Amino acid sequence: MYRSLSPLSNRGAGTVEHGGRTFINLSSNDYLGLAGNSALIEEFYTARTEANTMDRFAPGTASSRLLTGDLQLSHELESLIAGLYGRESALLFNSGYHANIGILPSLLTKHDLILSDKLNHASIHDGLQICRAEFKRFRHGDYRHLETLLQTHRDDHRLVAIVSESVFSMDGDCADLETLVELKQRYKCLLYLDEAHSIGVYGTKGLGLAELRGCIDEIDLLVGTFGKACGSVGAFLVSDEIIRAYLINRSRPLIFTTALPPVVLNWNHFVMSRLASMQARRDKLTQTSRELRKKLENAGLQTGGSTNIIPVIIGAADQTVEGAKMLQNNGFYVLPVRPPTVPKGTSRFRLSLTADHDIEMLAPLPGLIRNWLDGK
């Protein structure tokens, strides 16, 4: 289970260099291929001038937003995001982790209850631990279990928040947003949705699964990140204005953190304003993911989910580590996913596809894994 750091270089179109070798990169969250898109990065920097360098391209703010780190560019980005989602307001956070430990603990009290999907991201679970509200986990994707908890506990609490990811990062499956919205409405709850692995990938505007399902207006607290498909860092909350104002005064990860630097804010604005024009990338990613999943299943491998995140379940952690080394020896940068990231006995290869991949470059994978397993 021991982990160590491993420096990489020269990210390219679905590739990465390590130890002097070039690998097909299947361990990244760069779903649209923007982080390694040199042409797009060059286009971004062509806008730099001597006059705008400090406001839009400087590397730091040296202060929190409530001191001297609040930039006009921050407000421009928040206004853009709120407008894209058709909501009253948006609020920036330095990462999805900051958002998930900073929103619910600020809003909910000991009189409240949080009902959270058991397979939600670790940052959500950490947020539950520091929240004064009571919390309970419902079985992953089991909305009958969720409703049973609501029937039993709703009347005993002032506020109840239902919390889920839209796309689950280790299983590659999707929440049933229609059912979550229906339960939220029927039991008069707040609905908190983490769209970290959905932004950029779904919807005609690239706004995520809630856009695709047509329920953005029903999500009380919608969290998105720039650190996956947008090829950057940072996160945002889409909500009502009163919630934004409250969090500015109460959310400790926002108040006591140095603000995002201008160059990051500028890139995030640059990408968010272009997401709608990237439908061809989304379409290619969807098609390649479907084809690879089918080939893996045809090879008799245990997969899961329905997205561009394709888990291949191996089981034992030590065997998964060994298999990942085999794939790396064959030019595929695949890392083993083990407990505590996933439950014991479900260690896996998490094949994370991007728009830079095509089925031809991935074609050897099913045979490599199958032959390796057969030789065990």
Give all domains of the chain, ordered by start, each with its CATH number. 15-36+279-374 (3.90.1150.10), 53-273 (3.40.640.10)
On whether the CB atoms of residues 33 and 356 are closer than 8 A, the answer is yes
Residue 11 has pLDDT above 90, yes or no: no
First-to-last alpha carbon distance for the chain, in angstroms, is 21
Residue 138 has pLDDT above 90, yes or no: yes
Say whether 197 is catalytic: yes
Residue 376 has pLDDT above 80, yes or no: no
Residue 13 has pLDDT above 90, yes or no: no
Catalytic residue among 228, 269, 284, 357: 228
Average pLDDT, stretch 85-90? 98
Say whether 228 is catalytic: yes
Residue 31 has pLDDT above 80, yes or no: yes
User: How much is the mean pLDDT over the chain?
Assistant: 97
On whether the CB atoms of residues 34 and 230 are closer than 8 A, the answer is yes
How far is Cα 209 from Cα 199, in angstroms, rounded to an integer?
Answer: 8
Q: Looking at residue 148, what is its pLDDT? A: 98
On whether the CB atoms of residues 228 and 200 are closer than 8 A, the answer is yes
**Residue 330 binned pLDDT confidence (cut-offs 50, 70, 90):** very high
Residue with tokens 């397993």: 373
Average pLDDT, stretch 277-298? 98
- Label residue 67 left, alpha or beta by phi (over 0 means left) and psi (-120 to 50 means alpha): alpha
Q: Looking at residue 263, what is its pLDDT? A: 98
Catalytic residue among 28, 166, 169, 251: 169
Q: pTM for this structure? A: 0.96
How far is Cα 365 from Cα 333, in angstroms, rounded to an integer?
Answer: 11
Catalytic residue among 197, 205, 284, 357: 197
Say whether 251 is catalytic: no
On whether the CB atoms of residues 265 and 197 are closer than 8 A, the answer is no
Q: Looking at residue 362, what is its pLDDT? A: 97
How is the beta sheet containing 15-18 ordered, strand by strand? 15-18, 21-25, 332-333
Average pLDDT, stretch 62-84? 97
Average pLDDT, stretch 351-362? 97
On whether the CB atoms of residues 168 and 119 are closer than 8 A, the answer is yes
Average pLDDT, stretch 339-362? 96
Q: Looking at residue 10, what is its pLDDT? A: 85
Q: Looking at residue 108, what is its pLDDT? A: 97
Q: Looking at residue 255, what is its pLDDT? A: 97
Average pLDDT, stretch 8-30? 92
How far is Cα 42 from Cα 19, in angstroms, rounded to an integer?
Answer: 27
Q: Report pLDDT digits (tens) over 100-109.
A: 999 999 999 9
Q: Report pLDDT digits (tens) over 295-306.
A: 999 999 999 999
Element (H, E) at 37: none
Average pLDDT, stretch 310-322? 97
**Residue 238 binned pLDDT confidence (cut-offs 50, 70, 90):** very high
